[in-house]
């Protein structure tokens, strides 16, 4: 007979404790490994603030901070809509053209109709443009890249058909309200910034606390499984593109109010900034991954980069090169999460 060695209760307890500790360490390691890119964004943001503050005397001035908060508004809103689309596994390249359409409508229609109605029509135009994208993609199963590339050109053409010259808003309330500031801090908190900040928790609540938002996440992860579960995939994809169109239209209206003029070329290249901010913030191209706080972090990082380059009078085409490189590195950093 073999001798069976009895294990004391104390040794069993010690072994269990070591296993639990090892499991905790393993879980911590996996968490750090899968989310190191997210932590990298936080580190990059802190480093950028330190570098900018130490190399420029005007960075922490009230005027520069106010300008920074105003400048990130268009990309902040567009990126928010882009995130919702990316979560479904899609992409929206028409956002810049929708910005131009909403901006020039809101400025140009003020001569003929009340200001509030002009703004509503501009926002409705963004919703319609998003709905067209959504129907073509969800109902007819066309590739999002091709559809939104086509509508990018078509909507831009409509903008030039409406007016091939810049439109200036004639109603002073347009710039005074939407282009103005709130609070007792002179000029440091723009109305546009407040509107953008309000939109972020709304979209966060929609994505994380509603069945429609959770369905959008699930569609990006496995569309067929969602369909087999009895969820209307087409309706949720349509909703995602409508949200993107509305966010872009809001950005166009606020941008026209801030600039005091709406040019037909307004919004050109904005899709690159939006994709960059969403990807930097954790969105996975292909769907199923991303977060609203992460996207806001991406918007801030890009805003700081642009602010730093502008303070040193770096040409805009160098900024475009840098954004392209950032997108490539962000996608490479998150390839293990896909």
Per mean pLDDT, which range of 9-13, 236-240, 274-278 is the poorest?
9-13
Flag whether 43 is in a domain. no
- Average pLDDT of span 89-94: 97
Flag whether 277 is in a domain. yes
Residue 177 pLDDT more than 60?
yes
Flag whether 17 is in a domain. no
DSSP 284: -
| 163 vs 317 pLDDT, higher one | 163
User: Per the structure block, which two tokens stand in for 230?
Assistant: 């009895």
**Please, which pLDDT band fits residue 4 given cuts at 50, 70 and 90?**
very low
What does the pLDDT look like over 197-240, one tens digit per residue?
999 999 999 999 999 999 999 999 999 999 999 999 999 999 99
Domains identified in the chain, total number = 1
Flag whether 18 is in a domain. no
Q: Dihedral, CA atoms, 82, 85, 91, 96, nearest 10 degrees? A: -40
**Please, which pLDDT band fits residue 30 given cuts at 50, 70 and 90?**
very low
Per mean pLDDT, which range of 156-170, 233-247, 311-325 is the poorest?
311-325
CATH number of the domain enclosing 298: 1.10.3470
**pTM listed for this prediction:** 0.87
Flag whether 19 is in a domain. no
Flag whether 295 is in a domain. yes
**Please, which pLDDT band fits residue 66 given cuts at 50, 70 and 90?**
confident
Flag whether 182 is in a domain. yes
Rounded to whole angstroms, what are the CA distances from 186 to 3, 182, 189, 322? 85, 8, 8, 34
Contact indicator for 216, 204 with CB cutoff of 8 Å: no
Flag whether 26 is in a domain. no
CA distance 301 to 313: 18
**Please, which pLDDT band fits residue 262 given cuts at 50, 70 and 90?**
very high
Q: Which residues contact 83 (CB under 8 A, 6 or more apart)?
A: 203, 278, 281, 283, 290, 292, 295
Domain range enclosing 265: 58-337
Q: Can you say how many angstroms the Cα of residue 108 is from the centroid of all Cα atoms in its chain?
A: 27
């Amino acid at each position: 007979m073999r001798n069976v060695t009895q294990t004391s209760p104390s040794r069993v307890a010690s072994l269990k404790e070591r296993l639990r500790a090892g499991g905790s360490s393993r879980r911590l390691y996996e968490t750090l490994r899968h989310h190191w890119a997210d932590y990298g964004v936080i580190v990059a943001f802190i480093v950028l603030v330190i570098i900018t503050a130490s190399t420029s005397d005007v960075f922490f001035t009230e005027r520069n901070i106010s300008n920074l908060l105003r400048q990130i508004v268009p990309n902040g809103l567009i990126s928010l809509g882009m995130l919702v689309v990316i979560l479904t596994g899609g992409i929206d390249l028409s956002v810049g053209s929708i910005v131009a359409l909403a901006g020039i409508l809101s400025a140009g229609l003020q001569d003929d109709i009340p200001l509030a109605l002009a703004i509503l029509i501009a926002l409705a135009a963004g919703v319609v443009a998003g709905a067209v994208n959504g129907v073509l993609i969800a109902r007819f199963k066309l590739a999002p890249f091709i559809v939104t590339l086509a509508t990018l050109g078509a909507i831009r053409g409509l903008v030039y058909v409406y007016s091939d010259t810049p439109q200036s808003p004639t109603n002073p309330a347009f710039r005074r309200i939407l282009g103005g500031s709130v609070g007792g801090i002179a000029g440091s908190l723009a109305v546009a910034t407040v509107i953008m900040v309000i939109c972020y928790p709304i979209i966060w609540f929609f994505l994380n606390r509603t069945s429609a938002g959770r369905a959008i996440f699930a569609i990006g992860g496995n569309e067929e499984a969602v369909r087999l579960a009895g969820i209307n995939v087409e309706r949720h994809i349509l909703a995602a593109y409508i949200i993107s169109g509305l966010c872009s239209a809001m950005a166009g209206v606020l941008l026209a109010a801030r600039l005091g003029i709406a040019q037909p070329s307004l919004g050109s290249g904005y899709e690159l900034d939006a994709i960059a901010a969403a990807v930097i913030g954790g969105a996975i191209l292909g769907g199923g991954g991303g977060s609203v706080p992460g996207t806001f972090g991406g918007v801030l990082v890009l805003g700081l980069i642009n602010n730093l380059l502008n303070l040193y009078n770096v040409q805009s085409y160098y900024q475009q090169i840098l954004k392209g490189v950032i997108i490539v590195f962000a996608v490479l950093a998150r390839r293990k999460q896909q």
